[in-house]
Amino acid sequence: MPRILQVFLLCTSFFAIHFSTAAPAQAYHHLCGKFFGVDGNDPISYNYKKITTTYYNAFNGAQGRWDATSAPGYFRYEKNNGDPEVEVKDEGHAWDDWARTSYSCTFGYWSYDEVYIVFNTSTMRGLSAREKKIVAEHELGHAYGLAHEYYTCANPGPAVMRQGTGKFGCGGDGPWYDDVKGVKAKY
């Protein structure tokens, strides 16, 4: 093989490897707040203010999925805690959202270290058990401090923080790689 051809092939291989490789996905953005003192394997307490079996199962499945990732902290149910970090309930509302996570932020942390998650039984009624669990994963993402995303499943990759029904067709269950990456970047 002539030397010039060898140099040409070597150069094209170098450029193909170093400049055509897609950048890692980054399907996350952050909200203002986060929980104080959560790093490593610290607990994030939660309890239920009013919950039916359907949403209890959805939330438990969601917190189990988050806990199985390498995201910092883990969610711990504390039945008798009168002031948990996350309060969860379900009830019917006139608003169109499936669920809402509410909080206030002070100096980059959740004020009083509190987040409230409400599942709207009026709008979630038609969702499957899997879809309800993914909605709960999405709300826990907000509790961690992740904001909404508008990416598709393929570009740059699935994100439980994606708004709407699109995330239901992404294959598998969340939270996905970039959701966890977003929480790690936050904490």
CB 98 within 8 A of CB 120: yes
Query: According to the model, what pLDDT value does residue 123 have?
Result: 97
Scan for tokens 């439980």, then name that residue.
Answer: 160
Question: What is the DSSP secondary-structure string of 102-141?
Answer: E--EETTEEGGG-EEEEEEHHHHTTS-HHHHHHHHHHHHH
CB 167 within 8 A of CB 149: no
> Which of the four pLDDT bands, split at 50, 70 and 90, describes residue 17?
very low
> Which of the four pLDDT bands, split at 50, 70 and 90, describes residue 84?
very high
Predicted TM-score (pTM) of the model is: 0.85
Arithmetic mean of pLDDT, 88-116: 97
Q: What are the pLDDT digits (tens) for 34-52?
A: 999 998 889 999 999 999 9
Q: Is the pLDDT of residue 147 over 90?
A: yes
Arithmetic mean of pLDDT, 48-64: 97
Query: According to the model, what pLDDT value does residue 157 have?
Result: 78
| Pairwise pLDDT comparison (130 vs 154), residue with the higher score | 130
Count of CB atoms within 10 A of residue 177's CB? 17
